[in-house]
Copies of this chain bind each other. A is one copy, B any other.
Amino acid sequence: MNGIVVKEIKKKFNKKEVLKNINLQIKPGKIYGLLGRNGAGKSTLLSIIANRIFPNEGDVMLDGSTVFENDEALGQLYLMSERNLYSKGSKLKQLFVTTELLYGGFDYNYAQKLANIFELDLNQKFGKLSTGYRTIFKLIVSLCVPVKYVFLDEPVLGLDANHRELFYRELVDNYVKTGKTFVISTHLIEEIANSLEHVFVIRDGQIIVDGDVEDVLENAYLISGPVKEVEQYTSGLNVIGQETLGNIQGNYVFGELDSERILPDTVTVEKMDLQKLFINLTNVRGQKK
């Protein structure tokens, strides 16, 4: 098939299984979210897909061919990672040139336009930038390399609210104009949820959710009301989390409700947003809050 297929990827560091058996597909022309807690294996997975590290088992295919040690395939993938790979003494403008040597056809005009929008002076050296501006510089590079698949690992780390809003707009604008595929890993789920079409949730090295955001949220509910009625109404359903405030309880349910059950007047049903769903799915199991 067209796109990227991740097949039975396993990865250990020392004796720790960081990725247990990852299977997923990334189709061209969508914006994906890769969500997971700190340490869940997101960055490892992205580094394997971009061939920065090797898995112990499994393969990553692009349009039917493995990406490992395949320069043509790798020229279609760009990973913006949390690690700073740039030399601190290099000027930003020079780093664009270096990027073009590796990936070809760098869009200098668009890079300059983005630098203006984010108020980034390209004559500075990389090492002089604050955390926020390092992220911004890396984002600009990611949007200007001529690849089909862009992977963004923590693209808003250290960005203030204004810069985050600018980035989300540029992302969607770029996506609409180019039809590129984006895979975004971020801890700020609520802010980006509206821009994502498909979501993967990774927990303890395994994919536990893989679906279109709309479909996933279709079955995510908060049922709240007096403790007894809520417990009764949600009994047997897939309750993934719980909150209480005095005599009022909220149960988070992921899965279909039972249409045969009668909803008491005192109990309300609301939809859960993506961040809340994520938190409940990835909290330590059994740890009721």
Residue A130, interface by CB 8 Å = yes
26 pairs across A/B with beta carbons < 8 Å?
A: A36-B160, A37-B160, A37-B162, A37-B163, A38-B132, A38-B133, A38-B158, A38-B159, A38-B160, A39-B130, A157-B157, A157-B158, A158-B187, A159-B187, A160-B187, A161-B187, A161-B188, A161-B189, A161-B275, A161-B278, A162-B282, A162-B283, A164-B187, A188-B188, A190-B190, A190-B191
Q: Which of B160, B165, B279 contacts A161 (CB 8 A)?
A: B279
As for how many copies of this chain the complex holds, the number is: 2
Q: Is the CB of A279 within 8 A of B165?
A: yes
Interface size on A, residues (CB 8 A): 28
Closest-by-CB residue of B relative to A39 is B130
Which residues of A approach B to under 8 Å, CB–CB? 36-39, 119, 130, 132-133, 157-165, 187-191, 275, 278-279, 282-284
Bound complex: CA A91 to CA B112 (Å): 46
Bound complex: CA A283 to CA B187 (Å): 24
Min C-beta distance of A2 to chain B, whole Å = 33
Given A158-B157, A282-B162, A283-B162, are A130 and B38 neighbors across the interface (CB < 8 Å)? yes
Closest-by-CB residue of B relative to A130 is B38
Bound complex: CA A167 to CA B282 (Å): 16
Closest-by-CB residue of B relative to A191 is B190
Please indicate the chain B residues that have their CB under 8 angstroms from the CB of A189 in the complex.
Answer: 161
